[in-house]
């Protein structure tokens, strides 16, 4: 069974999405854009163009370029191209075909089924026409759903308790407002209202008009007749509008916009958000009446709404959001890209119909990181948070002391770097480890989380084959608050933890160097000159006392000193060993000291070793 795609077949732009691995994904078209203009054109040679390419040639080919065909859906309207009359369904089918082809290219499989959205006010015949368009495009339309319903699905509201919501949809060329009732998995449209000639382009036009007037006032030049200048102004106005959604003022800088007898003229001005709001206040005001209408048709007071969803790119404009808040008394619900929200909802509906959502959404993730405590109280993560489960991961650790025969595995969950600040889920001992020098035994620790979130942690001594394990069933039943708290605390204490971590790492490194040097002395002491030997012994003593003193700077300093002494000595040893060739190779496992081998990854637990 192939995927069911979700399509937002819009008046000005269309968008397609699909459920993939349980998550909705918006599919970019062949040109790399996430929305496709709903424009179709026929070149004089009979070539058919859809999307941005059709839009770019529109002015050269106005009679054979069709846009906003959605406004004609379900009517007897025909588009005459050469000898053929096309119905609105047939034109819409061409847009759908492009979206279908883009989805197929993305998914790498054939697509034959779709969910398509329509405005809530569409009549039966308009819905039927939309369905027919799908059929002509080679799509089996599994369901036609209302655009506001799709928005509610995108926000997962169908899974929540019974409630009434408003969807405020201000798109490129149309404004729709709907009041919905959600309950028992059913979403019902209670009322709908709107203005089908109001959208983002109107906001741009306000800015262009303002810039024209300002420039005329300043320079006396009227730019309206200058096509190049107008083109640049339109682009700059749209950019300023977008900038003003995030910033409180936008700089509009158009050098050499025109020239007169006195020389070149530049347009350089700043548009504040306050000015922009003033310029576009009338447009925002036009949405007020439909909102009130929809509420009164639904027989509701604003206070009875539990949420207000914003759909359509123009709802990014702060003054629009402000107006919605003022009208409904609610902070509008945001989060999903308002241009893509409807297509995402359609894809979710497609996923539900195709079983994708029920079947695959169950793949869970680990809410927090999991790992064990290692030397110096450090938390060593084996499984990072948000890893999709089931998953399995192993890492090999060793002992921290000579002749250590037992290790304790403390299983931790959390985001802090220091073990003690994380939650211990359980601990167990693995004993019977063969007596050996520290760092020699290999203990493989494995975390295995099944699809139900049950964690099985095992530790195995690879030398003896002895194994111990623990099963933890409570790792995933954390509340959202618990998870957020853990993550926030980790962020809050990141610096503090890093200091402690560095402390532990420094001590571990110093401790390791002492051990390494002692081992060298033990094994090769007789080959060393007495001066070298005493310098190493001296270094060890100093580092040891620094370690017991606990002053980090001093530990670092003494570690460096001993390290240097050790290098010097081992260089001499090398020089001695080289001419002897083949003689010293088997001398009891002397390995040249290697700065990189600082085994921070082991666990001291049981200091009953006899060193």
Q: How far apart are CA 129 and CA 119, in angstroms?
A: 13
| Strand ranges inside 388-547, DSSP E | 391-399, 406-413, 423-431, 443-449, 455-461, 467-472
Give the closest residue to 600 by CA, choosing from 268, 375, 431. 375
User: Taking the complex as a whole, how short is the minimal distance between the CB of residue 32 and other proteins, in angstroms?
Assistant: 7
Strands 249-260 and 113-118: unpaired
Question: Looking at beta carbons only, is 44 or 159 nearer to other proteins?
Answer: 44
User: Taking the complex as a whole, how short is the minimal distance between the CB of residue 360 and other proteins, in angstroms?
Assistant: 7
Question: Looking at beta carbons only, is 262 or 477 nearer to other proteins?
Answer: 262
Question: Looking at beta carbons only, is 18 or 324 nearer to other proteins?
Answer: 18
Q: How far apart are CA 179 and CA 333, in angstroms?
A: 14
User: Taking the complex as a whole, how short is the minimal distance between the CB of residue 53 and other proteins, in angstroms?
Assistant: 5
DSSP, res 455: E
Query: Burial letters for 551-579: b for 16+ Cβ neighbours within 10 Å, e otherwise?
Result: eeebbeebbebbbebbeebbeebeeebee
Question: Looking at beta carbons only, is 107 or 487 nearer to other proteins?
Answer: 107
The residues, any chain, with a CB within 8 Å of residue 370's CB and separated by 6 or more, are: 381, 382, 383, 411, 412, 413, 425, 447, 449, 455, 475
Report, in this order, helix, strand and coil percent for the chain, each rounded to 5: 40, 25, 30
User: Taking the complex as a whole, how short is the minimal distance between the CB of residue 358 and other proteins, in angstroms?
Assistant: 11
User: Taking the complex as a whole, how short is the minimal distance between the CB of residue 230 and other proteins, in angstroms?
Assistant: 9
| Concatenated DSSP letters of 469-485 | EEEES-SS---HHHHHH
* Residues belonging to the active site: 8, 70, 147, 169
Supply φ then ψ for residue 116, to 5 degrees.
-120, 140
Question: Looking at beta carbons only, is 107 or 552 nearer to other proteins?
Answer: 107
| Strand ranges inside 57-174, DSSP E | 65-67, 79-81, 84-86, 113-118, 140-146, 163-170
Binding residues for other proteins (CB under 8 A):
20-21, 32, 41, 44, 49, 53-54, 56-60, 106-109, 227-228, 231, 255-256, 259, 263-264, 359-360
User: Taking the complex as a whole, how short is the minimal distance between the CB of residue 257 and other proteins, in angstroms?
Assistant: 9
Beta bridge partners of 117: 8, 145
The residue whose two tokens read 């262009």 is 208
Question: Looking at beta carbons only, is 256 or 574 nearer to other proteins?
Answer: 256
């Amino acid at each position: 069974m192939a995927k069911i795609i979700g399509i937002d077949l819009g008046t000005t732009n269309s968008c397609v999405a699909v459920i993939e691995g349980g998550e909705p994904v918006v599919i970019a078209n062949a040109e790399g854009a996430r929305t496709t203009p709903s424009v179709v054109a026929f070149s004089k040679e009979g070539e058919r163009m859809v999307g941005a390419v059709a839009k770019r040639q529109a002015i050269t080919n106005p009679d054979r370029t069709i846009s906003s065909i959605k406004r004609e859906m379900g009517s007897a309207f025909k588009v005459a191209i050469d000898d053929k009359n096309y119905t609105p369904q047939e034109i819409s089918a061409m847009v759908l075909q492009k979206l279908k082809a883009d989805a197929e290219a993305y998914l790498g499989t054939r697509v034959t089924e779709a969910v398509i959205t329509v405005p809530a006010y569409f009549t039966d015949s308009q819905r039927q026409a939309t369905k027919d368009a799908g059929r002509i495009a080679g799509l089996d339309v599994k369901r036609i759903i209302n655009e506001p319903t799709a928005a509610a699905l995108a926000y997962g509201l169908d899974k929540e308790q019974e409630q009434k919501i408003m969807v405020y949809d201000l798109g490129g060329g149309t404004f729709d407002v709907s009041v919905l009732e959600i309950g028992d998995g059913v979403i019902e449209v209670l009322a709908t209202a709107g203005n089908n000639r109001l959208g983002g382009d109107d906001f741009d036009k306000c800015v262009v008009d303002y810039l024209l007037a300002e420039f005329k006032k300043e320079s006396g030049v009227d730019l309206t007749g200058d096509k190049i200048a107008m083109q640049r102004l339109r682009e700059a106005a749209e950019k300023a509008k977008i900038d003003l959604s995030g910033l409180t003022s936008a700089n509009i800088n158009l050098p050499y916009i025109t020239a007169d007898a006195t020389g070149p003229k530049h347009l350089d001005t700043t548009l504040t958000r306050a000015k922009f709001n003033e310029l576009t206040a009338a447009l925002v005001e036009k949405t007020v009446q439909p909102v009130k209408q929809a509420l009164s048709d639904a027989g509701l007071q604003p206070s009875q709404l539990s949420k207000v969803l914003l759909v359509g790119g123009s709802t990014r404009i702060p003054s629009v959001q402000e107006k919605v808040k003022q009208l409904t008394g609610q902070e509008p619900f945001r989060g999903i890209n308002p241009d893509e929200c409807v297509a995402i909802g359609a894809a979710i509906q497609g996923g539900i119909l195709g079983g994708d959502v029920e079947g695959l959404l169950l793949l869970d993730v680990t809410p927090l990181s999991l790992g064990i405590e290692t030397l110096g109280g450090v938390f060593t993560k084996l499984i990072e948070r948000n890893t999709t489960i089931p998953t399995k991961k192993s890492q090999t650790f060793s002992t921290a002391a000579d002749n250590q025969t037992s290790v304790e595995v403390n299983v931790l969950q959390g985001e802090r770097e220091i073990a003690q600040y994380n939650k211990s889920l359980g601990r167990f001992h693995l004993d019977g480890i063969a007596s050996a020098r520290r760092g020699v035994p290999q203990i493989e620790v494995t975390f295995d989380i099944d699809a139900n979130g049950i964690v099985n942690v095992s530790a195995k001594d690879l030398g003896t084959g002895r194994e111990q394990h623990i099963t933890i069933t409570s790792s995933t039943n954390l509340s959202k608050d618990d998870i957020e708290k853990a993550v926030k605390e980790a962020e809050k204490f990141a610096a503090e933890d890093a200091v402690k971590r560095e402390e532990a790492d420094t001590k571990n490194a110093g401790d390791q160097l002492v051990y390494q040097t002692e081992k060298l002395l033990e094994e090769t002491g007789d080959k060393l000159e007495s001066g070298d030997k005493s310098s190493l012994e001296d270094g060890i003593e100093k580092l040891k006392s620094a370690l017991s003193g606990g002053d980090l700077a001093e530990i670092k300093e003494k570690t460096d000193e001993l390290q240097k002494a050790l290098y010097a000595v081992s260089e001499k040893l090398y020089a001695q060993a080289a001419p002897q060739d083949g003689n010293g190779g088997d001398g009891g496992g002397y390995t040249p000291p290697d700065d990189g081998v600082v085994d921070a990854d082991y666990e001291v637990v049981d200091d009953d070793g006899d060193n």
